Amino acid sequence: MPLIDLTPDELLKTTRSVRKRLDLTKPVPMAIIEECMDLALQAPTSTYGENWRFMVVTDPDKKRAIAKWYKKGHELFIIRKDLLQGESKDVSSPENRVLRSINYLAENLQDIPALMIPCILGRLDSEDVAYNVQYQATMYASIIPAVWNFMLAARARGMGTCWTTLHLPFEQEVGSILEIPVEEVTQIAMIPIAYTLGTKFKAAARRPLHEVMRLNNW
C-alpha cells in the first residue's frame, strides 16, 4: 500500500490519538495489519525480550461482546473522573473536547474495523511483583515501543489508532471472550484500528520544553 508523504519528523508529530475521525465503514485488510505488525516487532526490546503477544480482533460478534465490557469500563471512568476532578462547565475546553472523543469511541467501539490487544506473557499483579517497580518497568519496556511502532506504521498507511485501557477492569471477562489465559497473560491496552477520515493531522499543543525538561538537576 502507498505510504502517506510524511517526513520522519512529520510522522512523529502527527501520529495522534484518533477516535472521532476513525472511518467505521472502510474495512482494514488483514495484510495491512500484518504489515504494521511486522514493523512493530522490530521495536527495541528489554531484558525479557519478546515477551509480547498481540491479539487482533475482527470478528463482529466478538467485537460487540468486547464493546459491552468497554462501555462498563467507560462508565467507571466517568464516575471516577467526576469524583476526582468535578465536571468542567467550559464545553470548549481541551478536557471536554477529549472527553467527547472518549465518549464517542465508547459508543462506537463495536463498529471499529479491527481491535488489537497487546499482551505481556506473565502477570504483573501477582503478590511477588505487584510492588516491584523495576520488574514492571522492564516488562513494559518491550511492549510499549512495539505498540508505538505499530501506531507509526498505521499512520504512515492512512490509519488511525489510540491507546485505550478502559476495558482493563474487566480483563478477565474480555479474556474469556478471546480465550486469553488470564492467569498467564497480562492485557495492557486495547488499540482501535481504522482508516482515518482525511489524512491531515496537526502537531498537538504541548507545554513548552522548558517547563518539562530538566538538565542535571530537578
Distances (CA, A) of 71 to 36, 104, 105, 154, 181: 27, 11, 9, 25, 22
Judged by DSSP in three states, 53 sits in: strand
What's the chain's average pLDDT?
93
* pLDDT band per the 50, 70, 90 thresholds, residue 125: confident
Distances (CA, A) of 131 to 124, 125, 135: 9, 8, 9
Question: What pTM does this model have?
Answer: 0.92
Distance CA 13, CA 209 (A): 15
pLDDT tens per residue, range 154-213:
999 999 999 999 999 999 999 999 999 999 999 999 999 999 999 999 999 999 999 999
142 burial (CB, 10 Å; 0-12 / 13-18 / 19+) is buried
C-beta neighbour count of 204 within 10 angstroms:
10
Distance CA 111, CA 192 (A): 10
pLDDT tens per residue, range 135-166:
888 889 999 999 999 999 999 999 999 999 99
Q: Structural domains in the chain?
A: 8-198 (3.40.109.10)
